[in-house]
């Protein structure tokens, strides 16, 4: 099974409120708009460039 990737479900990253569309996840500040960051328990991380932002308590 090496080499098989799970398809991303990008429709889960957006929410429609009224006539507006809101993003649920953050964009990576290095890669720019369109590249979402993964949310972990204690940090946000970009899977493309490796940028990490730590969450504050």
Percent of the chain predicted with pLDDT > 70: 96
Over the stretch 23-37, which tens digit does the pLDDT of each residue have?
888 999 999 998 999
Asked if residue 1 is part of any domain, the answer here is no
Q: Which residues are annotated as a binding site?
A: 28, 31, 46, 49
Q: Is the pLDDT of residue 1 over 80?
A: no
Q: Is residue 2 in a domain? A: no
Provide the annotated binding site for Zn(2+).
28, 31, 46, 49
28 by Cβ neighbours in 10 Å (0-12 / 13-18 / 19+) ranks as buried
C-beta separation of 13 from 25 below 8 A: yes
Q: Is residue 17 part of a domain?
A: yes
Structural domain boundaries enclosing 21: 10-54
Structure tokens at 19: 């006539």
pTM to 2 decimal places:
0.67
Q: Is residue 3 part of a domain?
A: no
């Amino acid at each position: 099974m090496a080499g098989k990737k799970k398809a991303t479900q990008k429709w889960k990253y957006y929410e429609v409120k009224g006539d507006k569309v809101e993003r649920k996840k953050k964009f990576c500040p290095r890669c720019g708009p369109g590249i979402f960051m993964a949310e972990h328990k204690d940090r946000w991380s970009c899977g493309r460039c490796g940028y990490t932002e730590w969450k504050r308590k």
